[in-house]
Structure 1
Amino acid sequence: MTDLFSFLLAITPLALLIIFILLLRIAVHYAVLITLVVTWLIASWQFHLPLQVLTAASLYGAAKGLWPIVIVIFAAIYGYNLMLSNGSMAVIKQALASVSDDKRVQVLIIAWGFGGFLEAVAGYGTAVAIPVGILIALGIAPLKAAVVSLIANSVPTAFGAVGIPVIMLAEQTGLAVQTLSTHIILQLAAFNILLPFVLVAIIGGGIRAIRGVFLITLLCGVASLLPQYLVARYLGAELPAFAGSLGGLVTTIVVARLQKRATSTEGVALLTLFKATLIYLFTFVFIVLCSPLFPAIKQSLGSVYSLIDFSTAMGGKLQLKIEWLITPGVLILAASLLGAWIQGSRPKVFVQQFFATLGQLKKSIVAILAIVAMATVMDKSGMITVIATTLVATTGIGYVFISPVIGALGTFVTGSDTNANVLFGKLQATAAQQLGIDPHALAAANTAGATGGKMISPQSIAIAVSASKLDQLSGEIMSTTLKYCLLYIALLGLGIGVYYTVL
């Protein structure tokens, strides 16, 4: 077994993150920067990482955080802000609210379907803040609106925004994106079906609330799962959450209309709604066109790239490939500019929203760059291997059962599935290799577990509290959501453990 002292030093950066963010309440970007410095010191002193390699790994990690993570987040929030400024988002909200007057159906449409869609194309708290506000406006108690929105913002986060968590997981581990995507969908399949029933039960005050809406709830879950599976298996990570949320949303709306649960609320003209959704429609079209479905386009646009070399003689190959035209962030940015222009936004608004979005995200950008740099240093210094070796030696095959807990911890601390995968993805893959298990399985388990931790992440709770204006009940929101989170993680760990070790 790796000596205890090396193990304790290797986990120190992770422990510090937990202490700084959860106990000392230090802002995430400051916490990560301080932890990065500590990681440098440990990597240099205990793990003998040369200064040249340490510098190269840090720069490479920061650059990888910038491209593709930051560019995707910036483009998604920029597009969302443009829609807010030109009134398109208000049109979408009105259209969703007019579908049904049954609150159980409303929660499926708004928290599950539309919330999942927002997570797929934007993320960054929009999938909690917006559904909470709409549900409260429709007469749902603020506490319930906050809880159901937090629970709904779990499964979709595996592939939101635009697959970045899985794409980064693949880059960190060197594993195949499509294989990872397929494993993740299979591990989360049951929750795609079960969670809509949970949301209905919460809104209706118990299991009996499912009566009368069993079929529409089941169809909502199935229609979310099947498109996700097909897209994940055959296309990759960018579109599963997109396809799943649209499948669930459209199916629920159609069935609700057929059941004649229409409300008296004034609807929205189809042409007006079409125009309001142009940014998202263009995003979908552009990403599909640059997917493996159209290899000629993908190959042609993909040929425009740059290679930035951070390699050193002692540190091995560290090359960052920047694809200038087919990176999801660039496609979302193009879709946002084109869609907003058609929606009536003018050059002045484009510039204003650009700098407003940059200001809005500046702290998150710092945190992302630092956390990816930290994870890269931990990997190159051997700290990740030391942690994995010790955990496997201590728990044996039982590690498989607790692998989702590690992913959940990552999201709980950092508030991001992407960051959880950057921190622990390589750890999970290394542990899997030592146990003789397919690395795709445990790397996927990290992402699956991370979706559970998202429910109770302090950042998510803060967003829900802000949107519901329930500052005095933040503890109650956390404790209520925590029960569902613990059950979610326990069932997930049991399922993954049994499947990969017994069956």
Structure 2
Amino acid sequence: MIMVISFILALLPIIWLIIALTALKMPGYKACPIALALSFLIAIGLWKMPILDSITAILEGAAMSLWPIIIVIIAAVFTYNVCIHTGYMEIIKKMLAGVTRDKRVLVLIIAWGFGGFMEGMAGFGTAIAIPASMLWALGFDPVLSAIVCLIANSTPTAFGSIGIPTTTLSKVTGLNVASLSVDTVIQIAPIIILTPYILVLLTAKSKKAFKGVGLITLISGLSFVIPEYLVAKYVGPELPVVIGSVSSMFCTILAAKLFERKDISPEFAMDAVATNNISKNKALTAWLPFILIFIFLLGTSNLVKPVNSFLAQFKSSVQIYTGEGGTHYSFAWLSTPGLWIILAGFIGGIAQGAKFTKLCAIFKDTVLQMMKTIVTIMSIIAASKLMGHSGMIASIADMFVKLTGSFYPLFSPFLGSIGSFVTGSGTSASVLFGGLQAETANVLNLNSSWLAAANTAGATAGKMISPQSIAIAVGATALESKENLLLKGVIKYCAIFIILMGIISYFGAQFL
């Protein structure tokens, strides 16, 4: 009975967020601080957590949110704002219209392909912020831009930031990283193929959604998942999403050139008119900020070990949390993606004709523009740290295992989704529940790697409804106080993904 009460009480901050963001239509910058306050009261009142430990847990979460997460979001929106100010976003718009005027295909290229690439390279919100702001700038409805990017960002999370969630899971569980990588791709493969169809359906809002683009949509999904599987199996967890997303972008563009109908229905056609009068220099200048983002993130990633190791030396380690199990939190000053995206924005902006002083003003305005988003993200990450350190998350997990029994594999992805919902991170979900999943598999005589991978699979679904992810999308598309629209727009797809993953996890566990 005590365990049941603890389980319910531990869930209260999560239940509050769902009710506040949907039924009450409360903006995230108001709902999330209340969730933090509720977590604090429960932690010190019912879990008997010392007040000093509670406060330092909150401070640790706030520090983590500022660096590297919030700096990445500010950097992404800053780059977008620079391109809007210089007028070069209009050139990008016309060039993309030269590839295709079909909004459905553009969503596949930008939200699915390019967004997957950004997740694979950088993570930390870039895969939502940059593609969503680009779609909005191209004339897409801001709510639609945010929703399709939230959904598109789900499955790439498993191997985001050069494979960090999966490599972390391997370290937490002690399981072979190659087996985890392959098992993860197998479990999310049907969702990878399904996602492009959902994106097209949402973009079209019509019964004729797939008319003329059905084959292109299939190619977009298959060209993502096949390379992702092969790279995961034969190379490792660092590059599956990077290679898969680049392959998908290339194949989607090629398929559009080969199979796209010339007589696109007006309801699916983008307003921008393609032009052949854009010089190569002007085109290069327009895309320069994003090209530099690609070069900088690739050049400073784990794929270039000498550079990455050199930059990693510049860090400060501080033990913020004072409670048991507290570890030093490191501020990586030069190896964080946000810093390099800001640098790309400044260099690209100067190349596009903006003065340095104006770029500084744009950066300042961007920070002010993002204040509500900053409050939201700081609050939710602080709450997640507090729930983790106090034992609230552990209580949820323990009761969950006891309630499900032999049907646990069916619900294993759901547990992973709770982890990413609370923390906004696939990596944190691995840390929170990865070990539990592996231990439970041993107790039930099931394949540990399969169930640990199910945790990652579920985390990809929970990521799309995380208040942190929604706050990023809101900030990128200027939808302050519209969080409820985004949550309502994606929550049913999150539920579909979790159910499908649960079925795959359950039946796979019976035969492996």
For the superposition of Structure 1 and Structure 2, which TM-score range results when normalised by the shorter chain?
Answer: 0.7 to 0.9
Matches within 5 A, 1:81-230: 81-101=81-101, 105-109=105-109, 112-113=112-113, 122-124=126-128, 127-128=131-132, 130-131=134-135, 134=138, 150-151=147-148, 153-159=150-156, 163=160, 175=172, 184-199=184-199, 203=204, 209=210, 213=213, 215-226=215-226, 228=228
Q: Does the 8 A contact of 1:147 with 1:481 survive in 2? A: no
**In structure 1, distance between residues paired with 2:145 and 2:59:** 40
Q: Does the 8 A contact of 2:464 with 2:470 survive in 1? A: no
Q: For the structure 1 residues 387 and 174, does the alpha-carbon distance in structure 2 shift closer, same or farther, using more than 3 Å as the test? A: farther
Q: 1:426 matched to which residue of 2? A: 432
The alpha-carbon deviation at position 224 of structure 1 amounts to: 2.7
Q: For the structure 1 residues 166 and 34, does the alpha-carbon distance in structure 2 shift closer, same or farther, using more than 3 Å as the test? A: farther
Q: Is the partner of 2:370 in helix, strand or coil? A: helix
**In structure 2, distance between residues paired with 1:125 and 1:299:** 27
Q: For the structure 1 residues 462 and 275, does the alpha-carbon distance in structure 2 shift closer, same or farther, using more than 3 Å as the test? A: closer
Q: For the structure 1 residues 407 and 27, does the alpha-carbon distance in structure 2 shift closer, same or farther, using more than 3 Å as the test? A: farther
The alpha-carbon deviation at position 174 of structure 1 amounts to: 6.4
Q: For the structure 1 residues 368 and 166, does the alpha-carbon distance in structure 2 shift closer, same or farther, using more than 3 Å as the test? A: farther
Residue identity matched to 2:57 = A
Q: Does the 8 A contact of 2:318 with 2:329 survive in 1? A: yes
CA offsets per residue over residues 68-106 of structure 1, 9 Å max, x none? 211221222212221221223222221111223566645
The alpha-carbon deviation at position 162 of structure 1 amounts to: 10
CA offsets per residue over residues 360-393 of structure 1, 9 Å max, x none? 2112212222222221221222111111111110
**In structure 2, distance between residues paired with 1:345 and 1:440:** 49
**In structure 2, distance between residues paired with 1:49 and 1:149:** 38
**In structure 1, distance between residues paired with 2:430 and 2:9:** 16
Task: Say whether residues 1:448 and 2:460 are aligned partners.
Answer: yes
Q: 1:390 matched to which residue of 2? A: 399
Matches within 5 A, 1:225-244: 225-226=225-226, 228=228, 243-244=243-244
Residue identity matched to 1:304 = F
Q: For the structure 1 residues 248 and 19, does the alpha-carbon distance in structure 2 shift closer, same or farther, using more than 3 Å as the test? A: same
Gaps of 5+ in 1: 137-141
**In structure 1, distance between residues paired with 2:130 and 2:368:** 17
Q: For the structure 1 residues 399 and 346, does the alpha-carbon distance in structure 2 shift closer, same or farther, using more than 3 Å as the test? A: farther
**In structure 2, distance between residues paired with 1:45 and 1:378:** 13
Q: 1:290 matched to which residue of 2? A: 300
Task: Say whether residues 1:381 and 2:390 are aligned partners.
Answer: yes
Q: For the structure 1 residues 294 and 461, does the alpha-carbon distance in structure 2 shift closer, same or farther, using more than 3 Å as the test? A: closer
Q: 1:494 matched to which residue of 2? A: 503
Q: Does the 8 A contact of 1:96 with 1:110 survive in 2? A: no
**In structure 1, distance between residues paired with 2:337 and 2:158:** 9
Q: Does the 8 A contact of 1:406 with 1:446 survive in 2? A: yes
Residue identity matched to 1:224 = F
The alpha-carbon deviation at position 42 of structure 1 amounts to: 1.7
The alpha-carbon deviation at position 153 of structure 1 amounts to: 4.1
Residue identity matched to 2:191 = F
**In structure 2, distance between residues paired with 1:204 and 1:50:** 52
Q: 1:139 matched to which residue of 2? A: none
TM-score (norm 1): 0.79
Q: Does the 8 A contact of 2:216 with 2:259 survive in 1? A: no
The alpha-carbon deviation at position 358 of structure 1 amounts to: 0.7
**In structure 2, distance between residues paired with 1:478 and 1:371:** 15
Q: For the structure 1 residues 495 and 451, does the alpha-carbon distance in structure 2 shift closer, same or farther, using more than 3 Å as the test? A: farther
* Number of residues of Structure 1 aligned to a counterpart in Structure 2: 483
Q: For the structure 1 residues 484 and 307, does the alpha-carbon distance in structure 2 shift closer, same or farther, using more than 3 Å as the test? A: closer
Q: Is the partner of 2:326 in helix, strand or coil? A: coil
**In structure 1, distance between residues paired with 2:505 and 2:296:** 35
Q: Does the 8 A contact of 1:169 with 1:421 survive in 2? A: yes
The alpha-carbon deviation at position 319 of structure 1 amounts to: 0.7
Q: 1:273 matched to which residue of 2? A: 283
Q: Does the 8 A contact of 2:158 with 2:184 survive in 1? A: no
CA offsets per residue over residues 298-333 of structure 1, 9 Å max, x none? 211211111112253x52332111111111222222
Q: Does the 8 A contact of 2:16 with 2:35 survive in 1? A: yes
Q: For the structure 1 residues 363 and 491, does the alpha-carbon distance in structure 2 shift closer, same or farther, using more than 3 Å as the test? A: same
Q: 1:356 matched to which residue of 2? A: 365
Q: Is the partner of 1:154 in helix, strand or coil? A: helix
Q: For the structure 1 residues 365 and 83, does the alpha-carbon distance in structure 2 shift closer, same or farther, using more than 3 Å as the test? A: same
The alpha-carbon deviation at position 218 of structure 1 amounts to: 3.2
CA offsets per residue over residues 30-63 of structure 1, 9 Å max, x none? 2222222222222122222222322222222221
**In structure 2, distance between residues paired with 1:417 and 1:159:** 14
**In structure 2, distance between residues paired with 1:226 and 1:169:** 18
Task: Say whether residues 1:253 and 2:257 are aligned partners.
Answer: no
CA offsets per residue over residues 205-225 of structure 1, 9 Å max, x none? 558946x65553333223333
The alpha-carbon deviation at position 127 of structure 1 amounts to: 3.6
Q: For the structure 1 residues 325 and 164, does the alpha-carbon distance in structure 2 shift closer, same or farther, using more than 3 Å as the test? A: same
Q: Which moved more, 1:220-229 or 1:168-177?
A: 168-177
CA offsets per residue over residues 228-271 of structure 1, 9 Å max, x none? 5577785766x765654443223222333355867983244443
Task: Say whether residues 1:371 and 2:380 are aligned partners.
Answer: yes
Q: For the structure 1 residues 401 and 273, does the alpha-carbon distance in structure 2 shift closer, same or farther, using more than 3 Å as the test? A: farther
Q: CA RMSD in A?
A: 4.3
Task: Say whether residues 1:400 and 2:402 are aligned partners.
Answer: no
Q: Is the partner of 2:80 in helix, strand or coil? A: helix
**In structure 1, distance between residues paired with 2:432 and 2:303:** 30
**In structure 2, distance between residues paired with 1:462 and 1:325:** 27
Q: Does the 8 A contact of 1:58 with 1:377 survive in 2? A: yes
**In structure 1, distance between residues paired with 2:289 and 2:209:** 40
**In structure 1, distance between residues paired with 2:152 and 2:338:** 22
Residue identity matched to 1:434 = T
Q: 2:270 matched to which residue of 1? A: none
Q: Which moved more, 1:105-114 or 1:298-307?
A: 105-114
TM-score (norm 2): 0.78
Gaps of 5+ in 2: 264-272, 443-447
Q: For the structure 1 residues 155 and 399, does the alpha-carbon distance in structure 2 shift closer, same or farther, using more than 3 Å as the test? A: farther
